[in-house]
Amino acid sequence: MDKNAKIYIAGHRGLVGSAILKSLQAKGYTNFVLKTHQELDLTNQADVANFFEKEKPEYVILAAAKVGGIIANNTYRAQFIYENMMIQNNVIHQSYINGVKKLVFLGSTCIYPKEAPQPMSEDALLTSPLEYTNEPYAIAKIAGIKMCESYNLQYGTNYIAIMPTNLYGPNDNFNLETSHVLPAMLRKIHLGKCLEQDDWNTILKDLSLRPIEGISDKSAKEEILAILAKYGIKRDANNIIEIELWGTGKPMREFLWSEDMADATVFIMETVNFLDLTNVIKGNEIRNTHVNVGTGVEVSIADVANLIKKLVGFSGNLCFNTDKPDGTMRKLTDVSKLNSLGWKHTVNVTEGLTTMYMWYNEYIRE
């Protein structure tokens, strides 16, 4: 890639997109096309077509998506499948129409079956049923994989689909209504510590930046306590602060630092082509050319919660609500394909969480 090549990053303000932009800038790339959701609605076919015709980007990184945790995925099922498929269809097709040299599409390891053998290899795709709670999102991402693969096979394009494991880092989504497990736990435990210390200045600052269901720093204390309790941040019968977390705490999860993910994305954009991923062919069939991106290391939700508790300095109780769903019990990725291509992660979960909490506190203080 030429350092002056025109690069469009869809979703540049999000967790992954912002890290990818930072990584590319650090490597000396200078020519970016960046549009916010307000400036360009990627679900609008005509607007996306006009954008590509006008801007003619040479490279595209598709990191824009509608994402969320178990609650959001299971509640907004229609929105998750519709919006994600519209975004993918519009961006991938217009990349083809306008002669984009290379595209990297970001999916998720939730594409794999609920009972997939562990660790999950790329060949596990479409071998058995998906986890129900995020099935619409997973189906949309599978469609994106197959769209990239199909355009490559029919039109000779160079579109790479990469499937990151659970991501976390600066600019994560800390909205308790829609966030993934790790940022949700970090914010809940942080607010629990503030409540424990009767630190209302920090609580109000937090809510001014990230209101919960419309409850902000302008709300009455009783309203704030009620909304915190609704999301599992409350005092128990002994006047000890208790944080309620969903499920048993037993599920194992793999977490990848967002800046590691960005580095992997840039590595793939610079060095990996579709033809590099078609070396295993069964008869005349070319399948599963996507690439897992992860650490290959897993940790239980309970262990992560206790790690955050220690890091934050919270001395109250963590309570797992076993009436709530766990989701898939294990989601460990097989990263041997990516490792064989020459990339490996560098940040472990303890290091990443420490940096993430420092960032969160600095963000609140700004």
Strand arrangement of the beta sheet that strand 233-235 belongs to: 233-235, 241-246, 317-321
**DSSP count for the chain of H helices, then E strands:** 12, 13
What distance separates the 2 farthest-apart alpha carbons in the chain? 67
Q: What DSSP designation does 120 have?
A: B
287: tokens are 């399948």
Using N-to-C axis directions, what is the helix angle for 15-26 and 258-271, rounded to 10°? 60
CA 147 → CA 8, 18, 53, 175, 275, distances in Å? 19, 25, 21, 31, 16
* Dist. CA 124–CA 292, nearest whole Å: 11
CA 257 → CA 2, 95, 330, distances in Å? 27, 28, 19
Residues designated as active site? 137
Distance of CA 25 to the CA centre of its chain: 21
Question: What is the number of other CB atoms lying within 10 angstroms of the CB of residue 226?
Answer: 13
